[in-house]
Structure 1
Amino acid sequence: MSSASSEPRHTAGAAVNETLHAALPASVAGKLPHIPESKDELKADAKAAASTGLAQLRSFVAGGFGGVCSVVVGHPFDLVKVRLQTADKGVYNGAIDVVRKSVAKDGLRRGLYAGVSAPLYGVTPMFAVSFWGYDLGKTIVRSISPVNPDGSLSIAQISAAGFFSAIPMTAITAPFERVKVILQVQGQKKLAPGEKPKYSGAADVVKQLYREGGIRSVFRGSAATLARDGPGSAAYFAAYEYLKRKLTPRDPVTGEASGKLSLTAVTCAGAGAGIAMWIPVFPVDTVKSRLQTAEGNVSIGSVVRGLYAQGGIKAFYPGFGPALARAVPANAATFLGVELAHQAMNKVFN
């Protein structure tokens, strides 16, 4: 009975596959998913799908852990960058002056980690979604374009997958970035005797923003965030993969990989990826920071015109040095955290 019932499924699956391949051009039919023609094929497909889902879950978890490492190491640098980007001309003489004044006003911990609660609460899902989106992006790229004979992707394909990772991430990044920069900028405002800060914390920022302008106010700067993170992520993952390949030990005769990438090499590749991410998108980040901290209703165009009127092209690069200084340790910590998380999960589940 079981063999008789499985035969029609086999015949039906084969008939559908044959019909599709006969009716469509080979270039199109070759990219269609194969319909299982037997129980064994169905089981194999289900096992492959479960394996892919598990790999994406691991990417999600590892990305979250890497993000926490990034915030702990990089937040002081990010605070300096944002304050330089948003302060009026003449408030600070440079990055060291920001650190000196912040520590003198609020102490070492509060002075350098103002606004850290928002990225800490948001960074786990933000980086988790980024690395999950990157893993999913690679799967999509493999399904629509030819890959190398060994199954690896080209740097251009890696870049495309990196750009895709920014799309789902923006939904989380934009509101948390808005809260973070508001709290960071609030910390540099001089208060009159007895005056209290406008916001008491991240939750209070969200509550007041929503009261003032609804969900649209909370998500202000989403377009600018995507404009920064799309090309930034493309450069980020492409540079990381390129540096990994260059740093991987290879046989001098065959050119084939002859060993695993060391954690030191992972750290160096992560640092280089962070620099590659910031160089092309820093002016967009400045616009985003200004847009998200401005009072009232402002547009991207008005922010761009205002910045250019203040100091030309140079006005788009305040805090560029601290951003690159942050990129090295923060992104080295990110990829080191991701790699260590993967190693730990491999020991537990493999």
Structure 2
Amino acid sequence: MSTPTPSNSVNQKLHDTLPAPVADHLPHIPETRDEVKADVKAAANGLGAQLRSFAAGGFGGICAVVVGHPFDLVKVRMQTAERGVYSSAVDVVRKSVARDGLRRGLYAGVSAPLVGVTPMFAVSFWGYDLGKQLVTKIAPPSADGSLTIAQISTAGFFSAIPMTAITAPFERVKVILQVQGSRLKPGEEPKYKGGVDVVRQLYAEGGLRSVFRGSAATLARDGPGSAAYFAAYEGICLCSPSRPLEAPPAWPCGSPVFPVDTVKSRLQTAEGNVTLSSVVRELYARGGVKAFFPGFGPALARAVPANAATFLGVELAHQAMRKTFG
């Protein structure tokens, strides 16, 4: 097969026909068998990298749930309880364990995040990789191939967009199951028997809109949170010579968006039809700005071990896949 010369190649003809601003951004069209093979190989490598990110993110998410769920449960119960029910995070643990035992007391509602965490974290890391590809097309990386903090943060924010479609309904189920036990009166049967039952009843009461309640608040929390999350992740990984064993101190990343998380928890556990603005007004009326920060201590305590477990799981999964598949 003859190789097209620059003067008669399809790419050159298109470039000569179209205006320069358009022609300069046209992708190269393969014109020889070798070029086709190279494009197919590049596409396969790109798909393989995305699948590996998907799998590694899912495994990291499972590690995070196992380590962090008890802290999250304490945080949510403090966020949603009426004033005076709990005096501190330790009081939440003490009352929860006394009422439901150690396993159920600290892992109530864990089924929802365990089921959802693999697709959630997988989509997050996949979305992050996709976000990096998008930002490098808009603004090329530096000569050594590294991205700026702004580019990493933008890619991190982008990762929260597809993730919200999974996170919001699973978070809704999780927080409902986490708080229903603490709201039961002596001898009263729980309204929901499990995660599937929560979804069934929510859908019967208000359709998909009810199941996805709190999606906007979830994105408002996870967008900036993910931007800081991945910036810390890449920053520590670049600075650490022992990358697989180092986990970034990402615990400060969620601090500025914690009030949004409180609003989200209240919104998703409220009975009947409520709005975002009504939840904000109610919280402020209850205790001013301070009312938006209950459970901040447990959330802060959770972030260090949970983030460490996530990143360690992701890196170990990548290492295992590199050894297995090359």
**Same structural fold, with TM-score higher than 0.5 when normalized by the shorter chain:** yes
Alignment match, 1:95: 89
Return the alpha-carbon distance in structure 1 between the equivalents of residues 322 and 233 of structure 2: 22
The gaps in structure 2 that reach 5 residues or longer are none
Alignment match, 1:341: 317
Code of the aligned partner of 2:52: R
Alignment of 1:1-350 (within 5 A): 3=1, 7=4, 11-20=9-18, 23-25=19-21, 29-193=23-187, 195-246=188-239, 248-249=240-241, 261-265=242-246, 267=247, 269=248, 272-273=249-250, 275-350=251-326
Q: In the alignment, is the contact (CA less than 8 A) between 2:184 and 2:190 conserved in 1?
A: no
Q: In the alignment, is the contact (CA less than 8 A) between 2:15 and 2:24 conserved in 1?
A: no
Q: In the alignment, is the contact (CA less than 8 A) between 2:15 and 2:23 conserved in 1?
A: no
Relative distance call for 1:44 and 1:84 in structure 2 (3 A) is same
Return the alpha-carbon distance in structure 1 between the equivalents of residues 92 and 277 of structure 2: 28
Code of the aligned partner of 1:300: L
Partner-residue secondary structure (3-state), 2:182: coil
Return the alpha-carbon distance in structure 2 between the equivalents of residues 19 and 72 of structure 1: 59
Return the alpha-carbon distance in structure 2 between the equivalents of residues 328 and 304 of structure 1: 28
Return the alpha-carbon distance in structure 1 between the equivalents of residues 104 and 245 of structure 2: 31
Return the alpha-carbon distance in structure 1 between the equivalents of residues 213 and 237 of structure 2: 36
Code of the aligned partner of 1:97: D
| Residues 206-244 of structure 1: per-residue CA shift (max 9 Å, x gap) | 000000001110000011111111111001001111222
Code of the aligned partner of 1:323: A
Return the alpha-carbon distance in structure 2 between the equivalents of residues 108 and 54 of structure 1: 42
Return the alpha-carbon distance in structure 1 between the equivalents of residues 75 and 205 of structure 2: 27
RMSD of Structure 2 on Structure 1 (CA): 1.7
The gaps in structure 1 that reach 5 residues or longer are 250-260
Return the alpha-carbon distance in structure 2 between the equivalents of residues 149 and 8 of structure 1: 31
Q: In the alignment, is the contact (CA less than 8 A) between 2:52 and 2:318 conserved in 1?
A: yes
Q: In the alignment, is the contact (CA less than 8 A) between 1:162 and 1:237 conserved in 2?
A: yes
Partner-residue secondary structure (3-state), 1:153: coil
CA displacement at 1:8 relative to structure 2? 9.7
Code of the aligned partner of 1:320: F
CA displacement at 1:280 relative to structure 2? 1.6
Code of the aligned partner of 2:150: A
CA displacement at 1:41 relative to structure 2? 2.2
Taking structure 2 as the reference length, the TM-score comes to 0.96
| Residues 279-300 of structure 1: per-residue CA shift (max 9 Å, x gap) | 1210100000000001111111
